[in-house]
A and B are shown apart, each in its own frame.
Chain A
């Protein structure tokens, strides 16, 4: 291969690459590709700046990070905070884990909601709409990660959960927590890119990370991805959720509903016709005892 040909080939290749990038960028602009956040727990220093940023951004309870010693015990997201950071003592030292809605690809909460109050936007965030919500709380039953939280002590309860700062994303900004993180533990982007970065980190530091990216497959794949130095069940993640998207579990039932509605009435009508004839014969045979009042 001579030099000119080489450059030409390289040029075409680069051109193709560029072209691909461009069309993907176009896709992303149209919001066709899902976004998410990669959480690298090995980088998290437990400063809880994300908790504060989230609560400030969304008018929730702002924790007193300096004095409340909240890391000493396990906490969960609540009706007052969309996200919390927990400390886990492991064989590799303290590990800090941020917790919030995972923004499942096929979200159980969305599939369960009978009024589309839980809604999967085309960009990826799962949002909640208080104008529609009935407060039935079945989204809380369905969510495999136990994320939606209800305001039980309110006459007009809201369902509280992280919505990946959907309004901020609309303005072209990053989620508040991502922006606040001083340690680069949170990275916002499209899931496809985040997966590549995550894999790159695992493969270039095979001893530092466990070889699993939590959220790649869990519950059918989620928007938020986690990297960890220790097995995930040691840092508060459920590892028994399976890889089936949760709405799949109800798919069979939902398909059979119209089948039943087509089939059963016809069947019953047929049965009723049959039993009618039988009675006529019986009556003609002399069996007349009836309790009919019609």
Chain B
């Protein structure tokens, strides 16, 4: 029939189009490629051993440290850093601040990829990953489990983010009707996505609520979930500034025609948001400090480590952000973003790995294989990111 014929030709067109787009573009021997390709290959090799001989074969995990950096860094930290997507969609679609519209697409793409890869890292860490559908298809719902909620929220949030990003894909594939339809769903997807984000950002903290006797009291409190949500806001903002800075250099030609002044306005605005959130977060920490009577604990090495995180990597970057915004100093703004990100990484790693079983003599530290696999995850994500932005209208312009 007529429609089928149109369907087939349409399909052929799309298929040949995708084939065209799959081919690499540009130079191959960039420094990034030279470093990342061997690491990715090595990582894949390590993963082979991990699936054949078991997790213990390539990691330093043991009976007392069941979670290493695959969870502590890839999943828990990665998700916090991907918080930018929900913050920006909130600002643009709910608060309707048009100023930030131009970074929505790239931020959502970053968030989506981060979730895909970090949730992917989760499956690397699962002992029996082929059972991963169990909590989803309903043969065994552990309603009483925080992890159950987190896994559902991950899944749903990835779907909502895919929906938020889908208009871009439709535009790329030149499907005008689909693009219109998908754009219409954006506000709903955004609202749902923000709600899910609040829940799983806090849920990742709530996973550790039952580890009360194992986490150093400077990092444990019943408010871990709240702290995780609040810090994910400025983590996301700092990450956007950080990535924006890099993208600005690397994808300069894609951004051509975008007013530099406007870009500056945007990241200063983000810095302002970060300064305020960090200030609030710092006072949350201070409140917990008083509430949990932590002053008895800060006189030893763990105490200094805690102060480094809370003062050195929260309060100081907060002031730097404020100073940078007031004086329109992008250099300091970027340093502040890096420090804030380090603070987030440290905080998440402290809760999940470093201050976990702080009383042990034989502490867990990651094996080189764990680090290589972590880098593999990060690099693969960057590869996919690069593939998408050089093809789809992510930065607002088609190449």
Contacts and interface: CB of A to CB of B under 8 A. Distances in A.
Q: Quick check: do A and B touch in the complex, using CB within 8 A?
A: yes
A264 B197 CA distance: 11
Contacts of B126: 134-136
Contacts of A268: 90, 94, 190-191, 194-195
Contacts of A8: none
Given A117-B140, A150-B63, A155-B51, A293 B131 contact: no
Interface in A240-294: 240-242, 246-247, 249-250, 252-254, 257, 260-261, 264-265, 268-269, 271-272, 275-276, 278-279, 289-294
A219 B93 CA distance: 46
Contact of A247 (B57, B98, B147, B210): B210
B99 A291 contact: yes
B203 A253 contact: yes
A58 interface: no
A11 B309 CA distance: 73
Contact of A291 (B102, B134, B199): B102
Contact of B199 (A134, A261, A290): A261
B209 A152 contact: no
A240 B214 CA distance: 11
Q: Which one of A134, A156, A261, A290 has the highest number of Cβ atoms from chain B below 10 Å of its Cβ?
A: A134
Given A150-B127, A154-B54, A254-B149, A140 B199 contact: no
A133 interface: yes
A249 B209 contact: yes
A134 B206 contact: no
B132 interface: yes
Given A261-B195, A268-B191, A293-B101, A111 B54 contact: no
Interface string B208-228: 111111100000001001000
Contacts of A278: 96
B145 interface: yes
B170 to A, nearest CB: 12
B54 A155 contact: yes
Interface stretch (A12-20, A141-149, A194-202): A141-149
B144 interface: yes
Contacts of B269: none
B210 A133 contact: no
A155 B52 contact: yes
A269 B194 CA distance: 11
Contacts of B101: 290-293
A238 interface: yes
Interface residues of B, number: 70
Contact of B57 (A108, A153, A279): A153
A265 B207 CA distance: 24
B96 A115 contact: no
B129 interface: yes
A50 B65 CA distance: 28
Contacts of B210: 108, 111-112, 141-142, 144, 246-247, 249-250
A294 B183 contact: yes
Contacts of B261: none
Interface string B66-109: 11000000000000000000000010011110111110000000
Nearest to A272: B94
A76 to B, nearest CB: 7
Nearest to B96: A275
Given A249-B209, A254-B149, A272-B187, A157 B98 contact: no
A142 B142 CA distance: 15
B172 interface: no
Contacts of A292: 98, 101
A217 interface: no
Interface in A103-152: 108, 110-117, 130-138, 140-142, 144, 146, 149-152
A151 B55 CA distance: 9
Given A110-B144, A116-B142, A132-B140, A152 B202 contact: no
Contacts of A42: none
B23 interface: no
A108 B129 CA distance: 22
Given A150-B63, A279-B96, A254 B146 contact: yes
B399 interface: no
B127 A142 contact: no
Contacts of A261: 195, 199
B195 A114 contact: no
Contacts of B100: 291
B268 interface: no
B387 interface: no
Contact of B54 (A114, A138, A141, A153): A153
Contacts of B381: none
B207 A115 contact: no
A219 to B, nearest CB: 9
Contacts of A51: none
Q: Which one of A78, A117, A241 has the highest number of Cβ atoms from chain B below 10 Å of its Cβ?
A: A117
B28 to A, nearest CB: 32
Contact of A138 (B167, B207, B213): B207
A198 B64 CA distance: 32
B63 A146 contact: yes
Given A250-B206, A268-B94, A141 B192 contact: no
B135 A114 contact: yes
B245 interface: no
A132 B54 contact: no
A115 B131 contact: yes
Given A112-B210, A138-B147, 17 more contacts: A111-B145, A114-B135, A116-B142, A132-B139, A133-B128, A134-B126, A134-B131, A136-B125, A140-B63, A141-B211, A151-B54, A151-B127, A152-B54, A157-B54, A157-B128, A242-B212, A246-B210
**3 pairs of A and B residues whose beta carbons are closest in the complex:** A135-B127, A152-B56, A137-B66
6 contacts: A135-B126, A141-B207, A253-B206, A260-B198, A268-B191, A291-B98
